[in-house]
Amino acid sequence: MPTPFYHLQVAATLQVALDAPAAHSAFLFGNTAPDVQTLSGAARSATHFFDMPVTQAPRAVLSLLQAHPQLAAPGLSSAQRAFVAGYLAHLALDELWLREIFQPVFGPEAGWEDFGERLFLHNVLRTYLDERDRPLLPASMAALLAAAEPAGWLPFASDTDLCSWRNFLVQQLQPGATAQTVAVFAQRMGRTPQEFEALLGSPAELQARIFSRISEAQLDGFQSRGASLCKQVVDDFLQPPAAGNR
């Protein structure tokens, strides 16, 4: 699934009507928040509200709101509501990635090389896109994320864990900072950072091993469709139709 910086790059392109700077910060942070499980140790299904494989019928957004209907109830602060909107956008984009990219190209049934190597190449691809997108983020992104102040925003993740996750991202967005994406993936997979870096540093190998399977043009098309989907999810949540128009 896309990295937090990929999610932020998509979120930064969306035109979302938010009524306060605090809500804007909360929205951006929400677009990364499901990945809090990287630090908290929670099961992915407990923060993403789907199991694999995903089907053609998206379910994560509905599953979250059915499990925790208070997150869609009237009376939320503008910051919490914006945060939840961003959270839902993340879930929708992850499901789309799994359906259109991971499962058909790298998943258990893809049928080229072995599954363990496909998982490695999938993480190399995610890192490649991460390295492409992180420098494109607005210079203000670190400060915007740092301004997000969780206050009981999620019933299934503590403010302490969310703040630790926020700080982890903010540190990587400081001028001259190094992204931790390779380190996280390498540790998770039992591979060395050098294995990632060797492939990322070789355009010929990237083409032969990854982009021969899914082209950069296809990835660009996915990002455009993903942004449109995120916009729809956010708008539907923030501006639900009036009762008479349902």
Per-residue pLDDT of the chain in tens (246 residues, 90 and over written 9): 899 999 999 999 998 878 788 899 999 999 999 999 888 787 877 888 887 777 766 689 999 999 999 999 989 999 999 999 999 999 999 999 999 999 999 999 998 999 999 999 999 999 999 999 898 999 999 999 999 999 999 999 999 999 999 999 999 999 999 999 999 999 999 999 999 999 999 999 999 999 999 999 999 999 999 999 999 999 999 986 554 444
Listed in sequence order, the residues at least 6 apart from 244 whose beta carbon sits closer than 8 Å to its beta carbon are none
Listed in sequence order, the residues at least 6 apart from 147 whose beta carbon sits closer than 8 Å to its beta carbon are 21, 22, 25
How many residues does the structure list for the chain?
246
Nearest residue to 186 via CA among 108, 118, 124, 102: 124
Residue with tokens 């919490």: 80
Which two tokens mark 138? 């607005």
pLDDT at res. 57: 66
Neighbouring C-beta atoms of residue 17, cutoff 10 Å:
9
pLDDT at res. 240: 63
Model-level pTM?
Answer: 0.93
Query: What is the distance between the alpha carbons of residues 63 and 74, in angstroms, rounded to a whole number?
Result: 19
Nearest residue to 169 via CA among 186, 193, 199, 148: 148
Contact 186, 195 (CB under 8 A): yes
pLDDT at res. 124: 98
- Measured CA to CA in angstroms, residue 245 lies from 122, 226, 232, 236, 238 at distances of 43, 26, 17, 13, 16
pLDDT at res. 55: 72
Query: What is the distance between the alpha carbons of residues 140 and 230, in angstroms, rounded to a whole number?
Result: 22
Query: What is the distance between the alpha carbons of residues 82 and 28, in angstroms, rounded to a whole number?
Result: 8
